[in-house]
Amino acid sequence: MPTSLIATKLYIPPSRTELVLRPRLTEQLDSGRHHKLTLISAPAGFGKTTLVSEWVAGGRRPVAWLSLAEEESDPARFLTYLIAALQTIAGEIGATALPVLQSPQPLPIEAILTSLINDIAAISNDFILVLDDYHLVDDAAVDKALGFLLEHSPPQLHLAITTREDPNLPLTRLRVRDQLTELRAADLRFTAAEAAEFLNQVMGLSLSADEVAALDSRTEGWIAGLQLAALSMKGHRDVTGFIQAFTGDHRYIVDYLVEEVLDNQPEALRHFLLQTSILDRLNGPLCDAVTGQPGSAAQLAALQRGNFFLIPLDDRRHWYRYHHLFADVLRAHLMAEQPDQLPSLHQRASAWFARNGSPPEAIHHALAAQDFEQAATLIERAVPATRRNRQDAMLRSWFRALPEELLRRRPLLNAHYVGILLQSGQPDGVEGRLRDAERWLAENVGVRPDFADEEDFQRLPSLIAMYDAAIALVRGDSAGAMAHARRVIELAPEDDVFVRGAASSLMGLAAWTSGDLATAYRMYGDGMAYLHKAGYISDVIGGFVSLSDIRLAQGRLREAQSNYERGLQLATQPDQPPLRGAADMHVGLSDITLERNDLNSAAQHLLKSVDLGELNGLPKNPYRWCVASARLLAARGDIDGALGLLDEAEPLYESDFSPNVQPIAAMRARLWIADGRLGEALGWALAQGIAAGDDLSYLREYDHITLARLRLAQGRSEGSAGALREASELLDRLRQAAEEGGRLGSVVEILILQALAQQAQGDSAAALSHLERALALAEPEGYARLFLDEGADMSYLIGEAAGQGIRPAYTGHLLAAFAAEHPAPAGEMAQPAPPASSSLIEPLSPRELEILRLFQTNLSGPEIAQELVIALSTVRTHTKSIYSKLNVNSRRAAVGRAVELGLI
C-alpha cells in the first residue's frame, strides 16, 4: 500500500460485544451473497455500518473494507484507495494498475478497472468488498467507474455499499437481473424486542415495557434516536416525563437529545466533544493538540466504553471517529456557541497533521481555518507528490479555494497552477498567471515574494519559460515555442533533468510543426534521453511514437521500425508486467508492416495491441488503432469498412503538443477518391477552403497532396487537361517544398502521383522518369502500398519500367504483389493493365475493378462476396456503381464494355 494513504480507512469496524444481534437482517444479507451488489441505504443513525460489520464478522468470506470521505471524490484517489482495499485480500491485485495512477499521463479509468477486474478474476476465493459511507463521494467519474466494475465484476467479488442516499448506479438493471439485495430504513428500524434489548441490556436502563414501547414509538425504531435518548436518561429522575417530552421528526429529536446529552456532561467533557468535532478522525495526541489539554487518549477510551457514538478505526484503539450524525450536531453546537474558536482549532489540527506527515489533512484544516498563507505554503510543498499520484482533482480544489490576491503574491504557486490547468485542458487565463508570476523576477519589484522554499523559487524562471513554450506550441506559434524552450535550457540547472528534458522535447515538437524534421528528431531525442535519465519511462516509451512518426515523414521506414521495436523492448521487460505504451508500439509496427504489404503481420500487431488492453496504451492509442485498422481494411479493398473506422476514430482524437499532420478529414477524402466518389471529395475541398494556389506549409502538406489526388482523378475521369495541368503544377511545388524539408516520405508519394499525371497527359517518358526516381527512393526502405494502392494505372507503369530494366528486382517484386492482389482468370497470363480510358464518366475504383474481373468467372454474387471477404450488400453496391459507370445493365455487358475500354 502506498505510504501516503490513511491505513485506518481500510480498517473493518469491530463487532461490539454489547451489540444487539440482528439475525433477521444478517440472514437476509447472507441470502443475497450470490448477487453482485448489497445496498444498505438509509438516513443517518440507522446502524448501517454496525450491521455490515456484524454481518462480515460472522461470515466465512474474506472482507476488504474502505471507509470513504469527501476526499475520495477525486477519481485517482478513489481508485488508489480501492486498490489498497483490494490488496488486503490479495497483494497482487492492482500491481499493474497502481503505477498508472501515479503516472503523469491522463487517467484511463476504464482501462484501470479492466486490469483490476482481470486481477480479481484470477483469485480463487470469493470475497466481499465493503464501501462504507458512499454518499460522501460526489463525482460522476467515480460513479461511472463503480458502475463499470459492477457491470463486469467476476463472480469472486461481492460488493456491499452503505449510503445515506441511493448512488448513481444502474440499480434498476440490477433489480431486473436479480443481482441486487436491498436493505432500507424500514428494514433497519429496531423492532420492539430489539429496542427493549438495546435500552435495557446494552444501555443499562431499567425501563418498563410501556416505557420502551413509548420511546420506540417516539423514535420510530430509529437507532440513533434511541441511543441519544438512553444517554440523556442516564441519571434522569423523571424518565416517563422525559419520554413524553419530545415528538416530531428526526431533526428535532436530534437537537433535543444532543442538548440533553451535552447539558448532562461535565464541562470539561462537553468542551472536549465540541472542540474535537472538527476532526474527521481522532487520536490522543491529535486531540491533545487541538484542545490544548492532555489526557485525550484516556478520554477517547472512556467515551468508547460509554457508547458515545465513537467508532474505533484500528485494532489498537488508537484512531477513532465520531458517528457522522453525532459529529454534525456537535459541529453545529460548536458553530453556535464558539464560532471565534473555529479558526484556532483548525490551525492546531493543521499544524499537527503537517508535523505528522499528512499534507492533505493539514491543507484541509488550514483552508477550513481560512489560514490561506499556511495553506498556500503546504500546497506549494505538496504539489510535486500530489501530481505524481495523479490527484489532479484534489489539487484543483485546493487552488480554487485560495484567494486570487494570494496567488498573485506567490509566483511559484501561480506557476504550478498554470501546469495543473494545462494538464487539465483548461488553458484560459494561464498566460496572465505566468505574467503575474514573472513580474516578481524584476529587479525593481521592491517587495519580496512569498514562497515555501528558496531553492524551488530559484527554478521559477525556467518553469515560466517552459510553460510559455507549451502555451506557444498549443497556439501554433512554433517560433515562439522554440525561443521559450531555448530560454529554458539556458536557465535550468544542470541537475534539473526533468525541466531540461521537457524543454528539449518542446523544441523538437516546435521544429516538427514547422517541418524541420532533422532538428525535430535530434531535439526530441535529446528530450527523451533526459526523461529516461529522470526515470520517466512511460513518457520515453510514448516518445518512440513521435520519433517514429518523424522518421516516417523522412521516408526512413527502417529506423521507424527500429524505434518501435526499442519502445516495445522497453515496455515489455522479461518477468515484468507490460508498461503503458506497449500497445502503441504494436500499432506502429502494424503501420510499418502494412506499408511493406505484409497484411497478415499488420493484422497480428493490431490484435496484439487489443490483447494488451487499453491499460497498456497511451491516451492516443485508441485513435491510432482505429486509423491503422482503417488503412488495413482499405488495403484489403473494404473502403466502406475503412470509412466507418475513420468515423469511429475522429471523436477519439486527443490534442497534444504533436502536430496533426494527417487529419481524418483528408484521410476520408482520399478513400472517397480511391472509391471514385469524387463529388464527396470535392465537398471536402470546398469545406476546407483549400486551393492549388495556396501558400504551402508542412502542416497542410497532406491536405494539398490530397487535393492534387482529387484534381488528378477529375482530370482522368473527365478528360480535363486543365485539371491535370493544375495537379501537375501543384505537385511540382509540393515536391520542391518536401525535398527542401527532407520529407522524403512525401517526396516518394508526390513522385508517384507525378508519374500518373504525366501518364494521363500522354507523356510516357516523363512518367517513367518520375517513377524511376520514386523507385530509387522507395526500394531501400521496402515501400509497397504506396504503389499498390494506385491500382491498375500504376501496375501498367511499373510493367513498363520493368520492361526497360529499371530496378528489375524491385519492379518484379511489385508486379508480383499486383498479380497476387488481382489474379488473372484461370488459364490466362497476368498482364499489366493499360491506362484506363478517359471516355468513362467516372473511373472505376480498385474494388470495382476487382469485382469486374470476377464477373468473367462463373462465381455468383454470394460467392464473389466470399472470395473477397466482404458483405454481399457491398458487392451489390459496387455492382450497381459498375453498371452506372459503364452504362450497362448486366454482368456480360459490363465485361464486354470493360474489354473494349482495356480495363480487363
836 vs 883 pLDDT, higher one: 883
Position 534: which residue type? A
Check whether residue 177 and residue 220 sit in a common domain.
no
Each residue's pLDDT tens digit, 221-243:
778 788 877 877 776 677 777 77
Least confident of 53-67, 127-141, 615-629, 843-857: 843-857
Burial class (CB in 10 A: 0-12, 13-18, 19+), 696: middle
* Average pLDDT for 515-543: 89
Check whether residue 257 and residue 114 sit in a common domain.
no
Q: How many Cβ atoms from other residues are within 10 Å of residue 693's Cβ?
A: 8
Check whether residue 749 and residue 604 sit in a common domain.
no
Check whether residue 812 and residue 695 sit in a common domain.
yes
Q: Is the pLDDT of residue 770 over 90?
A: yes
Long-range contacts of range 479-485, CB-CB < 8 Å, 24 or more positions apart? 479/510, 479/514, 481/506, 481/507, 481/509, 481/510, 481/513, 482/507, 482/510, 482/511, 485/510
Any domain includes 206: yes
Check whether residue 101 and residue 198 sit in a common domain.
no
**What percent of the chain is modeled with pLDDT above 90?**
50
pLDDT confidence tier of residue 253, bands split at 50, 70 and 90? low
What pLDDT shows up at residue 838? 43
User: What is the rounded radius of gyration, in angstroms, for the C-alpha atoms of the chain?
Assistant: 36
Check whether residue 55 and residue 120 sit in a common domain.
yes
* Average pLDDT for 532-548: 86
**What percent of the chain is modeled with pLDDT above 70?**
92
* Average pLDDT for 65-77: 91
End-to-end CA distance of the chain: 69
C-alpha cell at 718: 473527365
Domain that holds residue 608: 429-614
> What is the average pLDDT value for the chain, to the nearest integer?
87
Check whether residue 198 and residue 142 sit in a common domain.
no
Any domain includes 642: no
pLDDT confidence tier of residue 896, bands split at 50, 70 and 90? confident
CATH number for the domain that contains residue 864: 1.10.10.10
Residues 6 or more apart whose CB falls under 8 angstroms from that of 762 comprise none
Instruction: Answer with the one of 245, 263, 281 that is the final residue of a domain.
Output: 263
Q: Is the pLDDT of residue 357 over 80?
A: yes
Any domain includes 853: yes
* Average pLDDT for 537-556: 92
pTM recorded for the entire structure: 0.66
Check whether residue 11 and residue 57 sit in a common domain.
yes
What pLDDT shows up at residue 811? 92
What pLDDT shows up at residue 246? 55
What pLDDT shows up at residue 599? 94
Burial class (CB in 10 A: 0-12, 13-18, 19+), 684: buried
Check whether residue 163 and residue 200 sit in a common domain.
no
Q: Is the pLDDT of residue 249 over 50?
A: no
What pLDDT shows up at residue 101? 79
pLDDT confidence tier of residue 853, bands split at 50, 70 and 90? confident
User: Mapped to the 3 state alphabet, what secondary structure does 182-197 carry?
Assistant: EEEHHHHCCCHHHHHH
Position 203: which residue type? M
Each residue's pLDDT tens digit, 689-726:
999 999 999 999 999 999 999 999 999 888 888 999 99
What pLDDT shows up at residue 800? 92
Any domain includes 276: no
Any domain includes 826: no
Check whether residue 548 and residue 577 sit in a common domain.
yes
Burial class (CB in 10 A: 0-12, 13-18, 19+), 611: exposed
Residues 6 or more apart whose CB falls under 8 angstroms from that of 485 comprise 465, 466, 469, 503, 504, 506, 507, 510
pLDDT confidence tier of residue 18, bands split at 50, 70 and 90? low
Q: Is the pLDDT of residue 778 over 90?
A: yes
Instruction: Answer with the one of 188, 213, 247 that is the final residue of a domain.
Output: 188
Any domain includes 478: yes
Check whether residue 706 and residue 802 sit in a common domain.
yes
Distance, CA of 134 to CA of 324 (rounded, Å): 13
Burial class (CB in 10 A: 0-12, 13-18, 19+), 880: exposed
Q: Is the pLDDT of residue 75 over 60?
A: yes
Q: What are phi and psi of 34, to 5 degrees?
A: -80, -10
CATH number for the domain that contains residue 500: 1.25.40.10
184 vs 666 pLDDT, higher one: 666
Distance, CA of 772 to CA of 779 (rounded, Å): 10
Q: Is the pLDDT of residue 830 over 70?
A: no
Instruction: Answer with the one of 231, 263, 295 that is the final residue of a domain.
Output: 263
Check whether residue 180 and residue 199 sit in a common domain.
no
How many residues are recorded in the chain?
A: 904
Least confident of 140-149, 333-342, 389-398: 389-398
Any domain includes 463: yes
Each residue's pLDDT tens digit, 796-807:
999 999 989 999
Q: Is the pLDDT of residue 127 over 60?
A: yes
What pLDDT shows up at residue 110? 79
Distance, CA of 444 to CA of 347 (rounded, Å): 35
Any domain includes 571: yes
Least confident of 179-193, 738-752, 763-777: 179-193
Least confident of 11-20, 413-422, 494-503, 747-756: 11-20
252 vs 795 pLDDT, higher one: 795
User: How many structural domains are present in the chain?
Assistant: 5
pLDDT confidence tier of residue 833, bands split at 50, 70 and 90? very low
What pLDDT shows up at residue 581? 87
